[in-house]
Structure 1
Amino acid sequence: MSLETLKTRLAERLEPVNGWRPDLTAHRSDFDLNPKAARTVKDLRPAAVLIPVIARPEGATVLLTRRADTLARHTGQIAFPGGRLDPGETAVQAALREADEEVALEPKAVEVLGLSDAYETGTGFLVTPVIGWLDRPPLTTPSPDEVAEVFETPWDFLMDAANHRRDFYDLDEGLRRWFWAMPWGERYIWGVTAGILKGLHARLYGDEAQPVAAADEDAA
């Protein structure tokens, strides 16, 4: 029952794939919690991430990765599979390609249900979240150059607003940067990844009269 209601909600409330354009306006961003921060990049670079929702019998989960410690930027951070769009690619094509390259997630195993709100990062990317449905747990193999670990986090944890918190760190200039965080066990889900999940929660449950009850209906 819960998997059926969740899949139905996703299909009904996500943006249709054919509504995507490379010049989409970001509905959410790193600047939502930091309105005084300067935007240093005017021309945003298009990117996409795949949010793989896995329909496990005991309850839906979301596949996430921990970035390799050898990467030049954002080492060790929790992320979705994804990256920049290649010339001529759509967001869906890029998200599926990156998931295949990063964790060997076969595109044919993913049923794309739609798109969540485009997200502007502080580093100048316009990220389109692509939500994919997997009927069974996938076999994945992390690319050692990009991914240190592949893991799953329960959907009901990520969609419980009680687990969404605002954290911060202080910059050298004396400024304070705020961000969303969803710590799960020893894994610290934060920044763009948490911001995208926060946006997905708002899209799915934000206009519900009783959002907690609606999220519970979809949860295990």
Structure 2
Amino acid sequence: MSTRSLLDLLQSKLDPVEGEDARPRRGDNDLNDVVFPERTLRPAAVLAPIVLHDGPPRFILTLRADHLAAHAGQVAFPGGRAMPGETLPQAALRETREEIGITADLIDLVGRFDSYETVTGFHVTPFVGIVKPGFVVRPDPGEVADVFETPFDWLMDAANHQTHEREFQGRMRRYYAMPWEGRYIWGATAGMLRALHERLYD
């Protein structure tokens, strides 16, 4: 797929940047025969950064530091909780700058897709952004252990979307997983990638 074709696909399939889902459309329970209880969710936002220059399209992903209180050691998109008075797009861009050093002037937000409820109580809105040439990754060692790129086509191929399970809080839970070259992409990040695949191609 050419760069122009991919941009056209993203622009035609994604929701506008401004706006939000009243309730999450997807979540950590998508593959489990249970529902989350009614609860107050904390608003959060992530950026799914796509690099379109210097080779085939690819996502930028992070490996969260092992000492973090939540989701330690997991592969994730840059992002986090929205601050008071901050819009969700602003939160996604701020967290990207803080975590991996890519500033907002080097990112073109294209749109957002299905928000996601995590088992840890976050209502996460994912945004797709195109990273412009000239960016330099500067990970914050307090939050990020590593930053790497994974091919867009590989992650958007349903043949690579596995379902795994493990015990959590006394019960077995199923989740999406996309192991790639020694990286274990799973849980909320894999669930959001699956949601993006379905938005673009189903």
Pairwise TM-score range, normalised by the shorter structure:
over 0.9
- In the alignment, residue 103 of structure 1 is paired with which amino acid? I
Aligned partner of 2:12 in structure 1 is 12
**Which one of 167, 181, 187 corresponds to residue 185 of structure 1?**
181
Instruction: Return structure 1 stretches of 4+ with deviation > 6 angstroms.
Output: none
CA positional deviation for 1:97: 0.2
Aligned partner of 1:105 in structure 2 is 102
List gaps (5 residues or longer) in structure 1. 207-220
* 1:74-119 C-alpha deviation (Å, 9 max, x unpaired): 2211000000000111111000000000111111000000001111
Aligned partner of 1:36 in structure 2 is 34
CA positional deviation for 1:172: 5.7
- C-alpha RMSD over aligned residues: 1.4
**Quick check: 1:82 aligned with 2:79?**
yes
* 1:22-69 C-alpha deviation (Å, 9 max, x unpaired): x622111111111325x2561111000001010134210000000011
* 1:135-193 C-alpha deviation (Å, 9 max, x unpaired): 326201110100000110000110000000100002462x2100000100100000000
The TM-score, its normalising length taken from structure 1, stands at 0.88
The TM-score, its normalising length taken from structure 2, stands at 0.95
- In the alignment, residue 6 of structure 1 is paired with which amino acid? L
1:1-220 alignment runs, 5 A limit: 2-18=2-18, 20-21=19-20, 24-36=22-34, 39-40=36-37, 42-136=39-133, 138-171=135-168, 173=170, 175-206=171-202
* Identical-residue share of aligned pairs (%): 49
Structure 1 CA distance, aligned partners of 2:72 and 2:43?
21
CA positional deviation for 1:132: 0.3
List gaps (5 residues or longer) in structure 2. none
